[in-house]
Amino acid sequence: MIKRIIAYSEGSDDVATRDFYVQVLGFEVAMDSPALGLRSGDNPVAQVLVLPPGSGDPVPRWGIDLGGPEAVDAAHAEAVRRGLRVVYPLTDESWGVRRFFVEDPGGNVVNVLAHLTGGSRTE
């Protein structure tokens, strides 16, 4: 089950980027680290994750929260079975997310994730 889809952006100025999304567009700050996580107050699954420049290679285009770690494991197994390019290995991150990055057939990198605790924070 897909719980949410997170758009990814890169930002060069944390204060200006935060002010733009919060003061101009009305997002709330949901997370400060390892990236700036923003969400709608009215619809908390509407989210944007702003990655600092140089935060990683490859940088995903978006993230898809599958709701639970077991769903991430199943998606990973299916991606491997199909011979898709996994560009970031299946990992339990220190901030409580299980994820991997996979390249879709169009060459877009997708962060497939779920929170280990079952919560729906921004990642």
pLDDT values of the chain reduced to their tens digit, one per residue, 123 residues: 889 899 888 877 678 888 999 999 999 999 888 789 999 999 988 999 898 877 777 889 899 999 999 999 999 999 999 999 999 999 999 989 999 999 999 899 999 999 998 444 444
Is residue 114 within 8 Å of residue 65, measured between CB atoms? yes
Q: The domain 7-56 is classified under which CATH number: 3.30.720, 3.10.20, 3.40.50, 3.40.630? A: 3.30.720
* Residue showing tokens 């079952």: 118
Is residue 6 within 8 Å of residue 123, measured between CB atoms? yes
Tokens coding 105: 């057939």
Instruction: Give pLDDT, residue 103.
Output: 95
User: What's the gap between Cα 11 and its chain centre?
Assistant: 15
List the chain domain ranges: 7-56, 57-117
Model confidence, pTM:
0.79
* Residue showing tokens 């605790």: 117
Domain 57-117 superfamily per CATH: 2,3-Dihydroxybiphenyl 1,2-Dioxygenase, domain 1 (3.10.180.10)
